[in-house]
Structure 1
């Protein structure tokens, strides 16, 4: 479609917000499938679908409107309680959400609606129609077909009221009715007792007191006049409007007050807090939770208007309490909710949506600014002018703050990365015929958005692989004393200036012997090689390696684990495996915080400058003049392995008498790197290596220094691992 630039930008915003709403729908449905239905999440799903439909209509996306309208009809019936939120309906709703997402993807890419898509469209519409037209029997109370409502916070017990979903959902089950019939009730042909009998058709009268205080003395009594009044305790699943409709024929001449029992006030307050954040007036909030009817609200507003005309404005809340329409605690709760909504909207107005490409461009500019700042400080130092050097130092400090601020803008919570996995685990478990739950921890951990995009596919493969290969069938788990339900866990945390993400399972663990046997068959190892557990497990990352006995749609083709490692290493990360036979496995991924700018520690090797990431540096030492065991030094009564970087990179040091040791750590491993000199710390902009240098061991990337020179950035994990591997092989050769 041809749109002006402003409308095109609005359409792009619609696509982005719709994807967020679809993700919210999916999360809510998966939660209810596991924990049981509740009104708050059902309303959230309905609002998401309604918002997508309304926004799509603004842009003339009629196909999206047509499909979402049918979906909204089913959600509306579930919300009103005429349909149940069954597992089958959840599956249908999830499929519909996927289909809407597919619609949006095709609209973004201008792809045609092919035959497969149209067939799926017709199938889902037919299922929605069938679900709408199906007559459902009233079922016993169970987790699958109930709306778990609100806890009676003021009741003596902590039980939760449960109401079958095919009944009309009630905001409260216990009521107090204060009833005063009009003096002309008999003359109007009404029988007060008939109203009480009708009440019993929609609930139970739990208490009844007849009021006789209006009875006059016997000589003044008129046999055709009604002096009766009642105070009634009433239990019903009907809502307030339905109960008041019982007295519809006498409401003009009688006084009817309907209030929830005192123990139900807490339930109303909880419902008020669970309302969506919308711009609602006090009366609208009370109507929304059912403590006030629309008719009562109009009557109260009319009374308020009358007081305004007399110059004495009376707040609506006072009128509602005075007229015994709503209790004061409920009014106060609604006023607090109204204030929360205003504060929330004020905070939302302070947010600004920014395109990721614009943010990336900003970070790139900040990187160039870091390089320019380093050059400025270098030249200021050469001129030896104190004022200029002080100014350059201040500029460098401000640039560092700008760098940190720009990088924080790109940080997102890991929850945005994890949120797609509940659906993956659910669908994959059904495909495999296994019962598997997903646990997620550390969702508040932050990482760079570009990092999250690059790590999504590796994580997806690890999770699916754990479900296919790791988690055993229920029968096998029961035989070894495990629960029938398997568990996959995702855990994220900050560690040593980086991010650690773990994918763990409580399955059978890696089979060391089977991996070794397959590796021998493929010629990856020789029969006389002695390998540690870590080295054996690392073989699963070899291209084409698989221990699967049969090929499936999930895994087993030997394609994926090598790509997992490549993708992780491409973002300067590493993956390690920990497994215990019969108890499960942990795939631990170590990632840097960002891909753009780091604090670097500059060292000299011969005449060249190299950079060590500052997050890896523990301390700096002078190289010991007297060395004991070759390749080691003593550090606080502990042996410290030494790695001569000049030897690693074939550098010829001109002055061997002025060497230093930089102690670095990665994970639990620590090593001393011998360098020719220490040049200090500096903000370092990471530049990718060219094709020719990508496979140079020990070099992760490069940077540009202030004087224009290119300095390699060392790959500390690889250097440490290679050093320990070479030391182990040397020790093994010496023993044999």
Structure 2
């Protein structure tokens, strides 16, 4: 086994389980306790302990064992799960996360926080009282005393054949792996009533040879239950691979009992127990006979029953079917996905080169073959990109805990509403969105949402609302963080900007320009510094991080009503459908999802910056002027209408070349400050084309529209000589 890979898998699985555990705890706090959520928490802790036990990570095993014991009592209704316990369990999850981080850093032998651990264990043991560990009980107590910690068994007179029979044999190493067989027996009480339970001690060695960490016992029991087979079988989901479990339903065929006796190590003892609980004398006689109707034989002879008897027992248990389903999902290293995307990108470029050669040769069969290959390459591209698409819920799921903790720290009532968590975007962007969103959420809770008393005085609900929303729009993903707080005070922001020299005192700014000042480095209007904000760091980092993803962030706010921070990002950073245009002898690529339509633009007047399109003003930019290229001597110009968000603008170009699959290549440091270009791509002929930064160009066009121009007509429009739009 590759221990490094196994360690990494354990860390990843533990983090996922801790996230699920936290979500279930927060769900209980919001909606009240229910058995499904409690079981989810127990399963998470139990699985983490078992996985850590496999690799002898004893710090996790010993601590999680105490947590699991508390959860087991909660699960069995012996302890109520209230607010203080929820906080304790959340803190326990945080500490387990520290232990998992230590494993990831290869420092698991060092206690990460001894004081915190001692405090948590003291609180947990306070809930449990004095509970000896399983290993300690095995060392100090005789074997017969094990029945004292088994679940209560209802005594019944006579033989009842209206119950389930369970035959359980656990792996000798089950205790070393952090699994407690007794907890599974106790949990059976949630799905029925145990009416007969026999502990098989035949495998227990002499006391001098007994290993306190090894399990020697077997169990035969009868269970009265109205639950179905899957419900009873699910009790053993987390120990199934380390146990032999036979589950026989009421009135099971005699062949199944005969097969059970053929498989167990102690058939005589099991036959005796069956006679006491599940079978009548006649039924036992049939079970002990190799074939029905043959005289009674001893239990030892049952071992000679051929394999046909075993075939009578169903081979596919519900748990096995479940595992088969789970195996349809595999985990792949991100580096392998990146390598696949890179290869697909090279394939796209090679396909474009083949298409170019085919068009030059004028060979119809060759062109048809290349077209078929291009279509397949497009499907491969889409499939490869979909592998990297993940729900943004991966980021959103961490905020319920953040909102809970910060609202308690601030003494505010804040409700979090999450929508659009299933909206997908590239995994690389999901990972880089976490920090910007954290800054925005913390600012909204600290500065945006008022204290409870202030909200009541303003006529608002006592509890503030923080909303996280995500949706697709115009080939982009939009993420919004909204609050119903006090909103932004433009006069206060402007005064602070003047004080810091960011704006001249006489300068007049539009509302959206004032809001953008918040993203300036070191800008803050907070009157006092808190643990959360007020130091003037954070929002400038937000803008830089979003712009590094070729995105845009804007603020919408109404004073006294609330604020919305809107982030707009491309769906992927790897391969896009592009639209090629030419200006002079240079080729540019526009993301196809942002292209609305193309219009012929006749005339030589290149000074006007607004065109009238269907009665509406449309600002536009001439790429020739923007990139300082030679003027067009003759020919017709075209106007490409693009849209980003709710804003539209036009880009004037010389020629339209058509659609194109563009593999995005990053620009070097030399071009990092050029706002009109977002990247580059390689064309089929090997030349380099620049990818236009449409959001920035639309913004430039809108700003240019707002500035008075002497060349504009009285109505504010420039009318081209001809337009078929």
TM-score scaled to structure 2, two decimals? 0.75
TM-fit CA distance, 1:306: 4.2
Q: Secondary structure at the match of 2:482?
A: strand
2:346 corresponds to 1:394: no
What pairs up with 1:271-670 in 2 under 5 angstroms?
Answer: 283=247, 299-300=277-278, 306=286, 344-625=322-603, 630-670=608-648
Q: Secondary structure at the match of 2:578?
A: strand
Stretch moving more, 599-608 or 619-628: 619-628
CA shift digits 1:520-577 (9 cap, x unpaired): 1111112222222111111100110001110111011110101101101111111121
Paired residues of 1:624 and 1:633 also in contact (CA < 8 A): no
CA distance in 2, matches of 1:506, 1:134: 49
TM-fit CA distance, 1:355: 0.8
Q: Secondary structure at the match of 2:629?
A: coil
TM-fit CA distance, 1:712: 1.0
Aligned to 1:7: 3
Residues 605, 628 of structure 1: alpha-carbon distance in 2 compared, 3 angstrom cutoff: closer
Paired residues of 2:7 and 2:103 also in contact (CA < 8 A): no
CA distance in 2, matches of 1:602, 1:180: 87
Residues 299, 477 of structure 1: alpha-carbon distance in 2 compared, 3 angstrom cutoff: same
Paired residues of 2:649 and 2:701 also in contact (CA < 8 A): no
Q: Which of 80, 98, 106 does residue 76 from structure 2 map onto?
A: 80
CA distance in 1, matches of 2:224, 2:328: 40
What pairs up with 1:111-150 in 2 under 5 angstroms?
Answer: 111=107, 117-133=113-129
TM-fit CA distance, 1:305: 9.1
TM-fit CA distance, 1:343: 5.3
Residues 371, 276 of structure 1: alpha-carbon distance in 2 compared, 3 angstrom cutoff: farther
2:45 corresponds to 1:49: yes
Q: Which of 704, 711, 718 does residue 682 from structure 2 map onto?
A: 704
2:29 corresponds to 1:33: yes
Aligned to 1:241: 193
TM-fit CA distance, 1:297: 12
CA distance in 2, matches of 1:273, 1:517: 68
CA distance in 2, matches of 1:238, 1:392: 64
CA distance in 2, matches of 1:98, 1:440: 23
CA distance in 2, matches of 1:52, 1:528: 63
Paired residues of 1:40 and 1:275 also in contact (CA < 8 A): no
Q: Which of 89, 107, 110 does residue 93 from structure 1 map onto?
A: 89
Residues 112, 345 of structure 1: alpha-carbon distance in 2 compared, 3 angstrom cutoff: closer
TM-fit CA distance, 1:64: 1.3
TM-fit CA distance, 1:382: 2.1
Paired residues of 1:609 and 1:711 also in contact (CA < 8 A): yes
Aligned to 2:693: 715
Residues 258, 351 of structure 1: alpha-carbon distance in 2 compared, 3 angstrom cutoff: closer
Q: Secondary structure at the match of 1:110?
A: coil
Paired residues of 1:56 and 1:64 also in contact (CA < 8 A): yes
Q: CA RMSD in A?
A: 3.7
CA shift digits 1:121-142 (9 cap, x unpaired): 222222222232299xxxxxxx
What pairs up with 1:674-689 in 2 under 5 angstroms?
Answer: 674-689=652-667
Aligned to 2:673: 695
TM-fit CA distance, 1:599: 0.5
TM-fit CA distance, 1:26: 0.5
- Where do 5+ consecutive residues of structure 2 fail to align? 132-150, 160-188, 198-221, 251-269, 294-315, 715-725
Aligned to 1:205: none
Aligned to 1:197: none
CA distance in 2, matches of 1:378, 1:542: 47
CA distance in 2, matches of 1:63, 1:598: 48
TM-fit CA distance, 1:362: 0.9
TM-fit CA distance, 1:42: 1.1
Q: Secondary structure at the match of 1:577?
A: strand
Paired residues of 1:602 and 1:679 also in contact (CA < 8 A): yes
CA distance in 2, matches of 1:62, 1:620: 67
Residues 609, 422 of structure 1: alpha-carbon distance in 2 compared, 3 angstrom cutoff: same
TM-fit CA distance, 1:424: 0.8
CA distance in 1, matches of 2:237, 2:75: 18
TM-fit CA distance, 1:181: 10
CA distance in 2, matches of 1:113, 1:308: 55
- Where do 5+ consecutive residues of structure 1 fail to align? 136-168, 171-176, 183-236, 246-256, 287-293, 314-337
Residues 729, 340 of structure 1: alpha-carbon distance in 2 compared, 3 angstrom cutoff: farther
Q: Which of 8, 15, 19 does residue 19 from structure 1 map onto?
A: 15
Residues 435, 622 of structure 1: alpha-carbon distance in 2 compared, 3 angstrom cutoff: same
Count of aligned residue pairs for this structure pair: 594
CA shift digits 1:338-384 (9 cap, x unpaired): 99766543321222211111111111111111111111211222222
CA distance in 2, matches of 1:238, 1:68: 22
Residues 282, 677 of structure 1: alpha-carbon distance in 2 compared, 3 angstrom cutoff: farther
Q: Secondary structure at the match of 1:20?
A: helix
Paired residues of 1:666 and 1:717 also in contact (CA < 8 A): yes
Paired residues of 1:653 and 1:676 also in contact (CA < 8 A): no
Q: Secondary structure at the match of 1:730?
A: coil
CA distance in 1, matches of 2:682, 2:392: 31
Residues 455, 628 of structure 1: alpha-carbon distance in 2 compared, 3 angstrom cutoff: closer
CA distance in 2, matches of 1:648, 1:297: 94
TM-fit CA distance, 1:113: 6.3
TM-fit CA distance, 1:640: 2.5
CA shift digits 1:270-292 (9 cap, x unpaired): 98899797779895899xxxxxx
Paired residues of 1:497 and 1:593 also in contact (CA < 8 A): yes
What pairs up with 1:181-200 in 2 under 5 angstroms?
Answer: none
CA distance in 1, matches of 2:274, 2:74: 27
Paired residues of 1:277 and 1:344 also in contact (CA < 8 A): no
TM-fit CA distance, 1:119: 2.4
TM-fit CA distance, 1:102: 1.1
Paired residues of 2:194 and 2:223 also in contact (CA < 8 A): no
